[in-house]
Amino acid sequence: MLVAGNTAQRYRLGRQTVSRIGFGAMQLPGPGVFGPPRDRDEAIAVLRRAAELGVDHIDTAQYYGPVVANELIRLALYPYPEGLALVSKVGARRDAAGAILRYDSPAELRSGITDNLRTLAVDHLAAVNLRLTDSAGPGQLFDDQLGAMMQARDDGLTDGIGLSNITREHLLHALTRTDIACVQNPMNLADLSSMPVLEECDKRGIAFVPFFPLGSAFDRSNPVLGNPAVLATAVRLGCTPAQVALAWLLQLRPNVLLIPGTSSLRHLEDNLAVAHLELDAEARQLLGRASAQAR
């Protein structure tokens, strides 16, 4: 049920402490995260309303659009509210047809970071995530990429280094070389493949930021929002299936930071209301059984 008070609380993200429910900008551009938004005015209104409601962690990327998400953030919020943590990611780019291509050599990573700074009109970011594009384990390329990220941090372009699409082995290897501010991996009630990474992050005090928290936006079927346990819990508690799925992630570990994205004002307010959603023992038990089937 929805209860008074902020049950989500806050958690450390690099050098800052942020609300555990932030905002992801991926859904602001057009279909397929490509091109202009369907409704530019509403996209800007969503960002401004998020800031009004206390969102202090916005996740974006230069290749969302490309450029579109960053430009909307700048148009809506610049000059930025004090304490706002802007986090981006590098390692990919879009071609003219919208295909996602690798852009992850050390020089390309540096260029990606400076492109983000330019389009967001800032001189540094709270964190930048290195997005891995294949399943190869830690090797020379990963070491070279880490070197580029560390240099960018040392040069003051970012306060922290994040990692995305990684294994526990990547994380442990990276930690032998540098501090890690956050990890972004897929995680939801139907996909718990990153649980070893989440648990390692929790043990080490590293923020874990699940992407696709409500299931992939690119799948026609949705095993999260259509899950019978999620639907039954939503009906019983008088909330939406999306709110149930997000609340379940929040209670999974204290280091989980949510960045649900939307281009709708109504969905934005629904997402942020999860800070006041309490899953009772019956809900936790039912959803726990459902999630166990995904392990």
Q: What share of the chain is helix, strand, coil (3-state, %, to 5)?
A: 40, 20, 40
Determine whether 11 is an active site residue.
no
CA nearest to 258, candidates 245, 267, 158, 278:
245
- Do 255 and 202 contact (CB within 8 A), yes or no? yes
- Do 78 and 63 contact (CB within 8 A), yes or no? no
- Do 59 and 119 contact (CB within 8 A), yes or no? no
Q: Write out the two tokens for 164.
A: 């995305």
CA nearest to 11, candidates 56, 75, 71:
56
The single residue of 11, 63, 64, 103 carrying the catalytic annotation is 64
**What residue type is assigned to position 244 of the chain?**
V
User: Which residues, other chains included, contact 20 with Cβ-Cβ below 8 Å and sequence gap of 6+?
Assistant: 8, 9, 10, 11, 250, 256, 257, 258, 275
Q: Which residues pair with 102 in a beta bridge?
A: 92
User: Which residues, other chains included, contact 140 with Cβ-Cβ below 8 Å and sequence gap of 6+?
Assistant: none
CA nearest to 25, candidates 82, 66, 80, 83:
66
Q: List residues with catalytic annotation.
A: 64
